[in-house]
Structure 1
Amino acid sequence: MDIHQLKSFKTIVEKGNFQDAANELNYSLSAISYQIQQLENEVKFPLFEKIGRRMLPTEQSLKLIPHIKKIEEEIEQIRQLNSKDRKVEGSLTISVSDSLLTYILQPILKEFIETAPDVKLKLKVRNCYEVQKEIIRNDIDLGIHYQVHGYDEQIKVTEVSTFTVGVMASPLFSQQERNFDKKDQIKSCSVINNDPNGVYQQYFEEYLKKKNILTGQNIELWSIEAIKKSVMNNLGIACLPHFVVEEEIKKGEITELTIKGFQRTITMITAHHSNKWISPAMELFLNILNEQMVCEPSVSVEI
């Protein structure tokens, strides 16, 4: 049994099939198949079973994954033992919310890539709850998302910044439809979102429910930029963080609806397993993130 066999098995599980794993690791299909055969001989139980036309990992084999990840971390720590004067290398996998990646993290990523060009950086765009699951399963190095409930003491959570959100509309949006303060209304306007389970989307849904306000259809676009374009073209309204629409509001392309009873904040956090080794790459990224976010004061309002 060697690390190459273990890594091949983990990559097959991650990629979902032998061929994609072979391509990822730059192996031939026969070579990676041979490694799995050798590993099965070592562990004395089948790693995969054929279900229909697919080869799926057995329940017993999946128990190997946490051990393989731990071995990989230990190996990376050994490589970094004498790395004080060496360039930062290795890999870093981050799952992050779409809006944060698009509007907040760009300068952080730019500085990180310029400072550590040899780090293999992998970014996954997920909603908050998907990021949570990946962190809890220890599938990623770091999660960056809006704070939601669900973490226990095994997860290290750090609050980074707080942002305000509002309900956005086109300047052409009907004046008759703009009043969301009054209770018991039926409105024809559509509500656009990029994730119906998103934190700020849920805030607005809860407000509408509390006020007994019915709206038109919900439009799911799964793209912040597409939502902004749709709002600008008066296809509907959308609840969004202010930093997403700052430029469009200044240009008069988007306007914020004045809703007295709707004032909400969202908190950006970083999260990772408490027992996870903080690699030089991860430490550098967190340092850059904290330094740059200090320069951007957080915004808070009373809820």
Structure 2
Amino acid sequence: MEFRQLKTFITVADLNGFTRAADVLGYTQPTITSQIQLLEIELGVCLFERIRKNISLTHEGEKFLIYAREIINLCEQAKNIVTDRSMTKGVVKIGALESICTTRLHTLLKVFHHKFPDIEIILRTIKSNEHKQLLIDNQIDVAFCLDNMMTNSEFIVELAVPEPLVLLAEPSHSLVKYSDVYPQNIVKYPLILAEEDCSYRRTMISILSDYGVTPKAIMEIGNIQAMKQLAMSGLGIILLPKITVEEELSKGKLVELNWSGPSFEFLTQVIYHEDKWMSPALQTFLKVTKEILPIQYCMSGKI
């Protein structure tokens, strides 16, 4: 079993194709096919189902993929352990929610790139419920998520800062004049909410359920900008992190409702898997994140 065979196997599995893997690895397709066949002969199992031009992992292939990733990871650790840890080179793969990408990360990444131009950052926009599995599968190194405090011991919370959520409507909405807005008030109007897997949408629905009330209507929108536009058009009430609507609030295009129901206790959290190898590049990125992110929150009056 050779190192290159394992890398080829993982690449084919990730890209779901021999041709794509050949392009990425710089091999010919026959070479890719030969490496996989030799690996299958050595293991005595079929790793991929091949039906016409489509391939998929067999049950044995799925199990072997887990160990192949671990072997590659250990080899990388062994190689890096003897290199100069002061080197500021490498790659950091980040997964972040859209709301965090568009508000918090641009300043952090700008500062980081200025200080460490030789560290490559790969940024991936993720959904609210994706980060755990992506970290487990080692598809990302670190996640920026917005949720209740992480309690799963499998993950390390490197940083957690409060992230207020607000209910908003356009200025002429009838609820704007209310000194106290409760769940039974907002269900009389359409709610413009993020997709079903969004953490703060789930919290809102849970609160309404606890109060025994049901929304008049829910408009499900997967884009924050579209949600804001619909609310500004008077089509409903939205729930969003306050940082995402600061411009609209300052210009009077949206107004924060005086929510008196249960509080939305959410935090922006920077997390990674407990078994993640802390490369010099990742350590450097986390260090800068802990320096810069809290400053952003302080400047915007969050903590």
State the TM-score bracket (shorter-chain normalisation).
0.7 to 0.9
The equivalences for 1:263-282 within 5 A come to 263-282=263-282
1:36 aligns with 36
State the alpha-carbon separation in 2 of the partners of residues 59 and 182 from structure 1. Answer: 48
1:236-277 deviation line (CA, Å, top 9, x unaligned): 211111111112101111111112224322112222221221
Quote the sequence identity (%). 26
Q: Shift of residue 286 of structure 1?
A: 0.7
Q: CA RMSD in A?
A: 2.7
Matched-pair contact (CA < 8 Å) for 1:192–1:221: yes
Instruction: State the TM-score, normalized to the length of structure 1.
Output: 0.86
Q: 1:114 to 1:70 in 2, by over 3 A?
A: farther
1:131 aligns with 131
Structure 2 letter corresponding to 1:286: L
State the alpha-carbon separation in 2 of the partners of residues 226 and 88 from structure 1. Answer: 38
- The residue matched to 1:197 in structure 2 has which SS? coil
Q: Which moved more, 1:74-83 or 1:279-288?
A: 74-83
Matched-pair contact (CA < 8 Å) for 1:159–1:267: no
Instruction: State the TM-score, normalized to the length of structure 2.
Output: 0.86
* Structure 1: segments with no counterpart, 5+ residues: none
- The residue matched to 2:258 in structure 1 has which SS? coil
Q: Which moved more, 1:215-224 or 1:161-170?
A: 215-224
Q: 1:236 to 1:184 in 2, by over 3 A?
A: closer
- Whether 2:302 is the aligned partner of 1:299: answer yes
1:68-106 deviation line (CA, Å, top 9, x unaligned): 2223323333443222453312x3222222211221111
* Structure 2: segments with no counterpart, 5+ residues: none
Matched-pair contact (CA < 8 Å) for 1:169–1:236: yes
2:182 aligns with 181
1:67 aligns with 67
Q: 1:124 to 1:250 in 2, by over 3 A?
A: same
Matched-pair contact (CA < 8 Å) for 1:185–1:213: no
1:103-135 deviation line (CA, Å, top 9, x unaligned): 111111223333444444332222232112222
Q: 1:159 to 1:10 in 2, by over 3 A?
A: same
How many pairs are equivalent?
298
Q: Shift of residue 137 of structure 1?
A: 4.1
1:82 aligns with 83
- Whether 2:216 is the aligned partner of 1:216: answer yes
- Whether 2:6 is the aligned partner of 1:3: answer no
Matched-pair contact (CA < 8 Å) for 2:183–2:207: no
2:58 aligns with 58
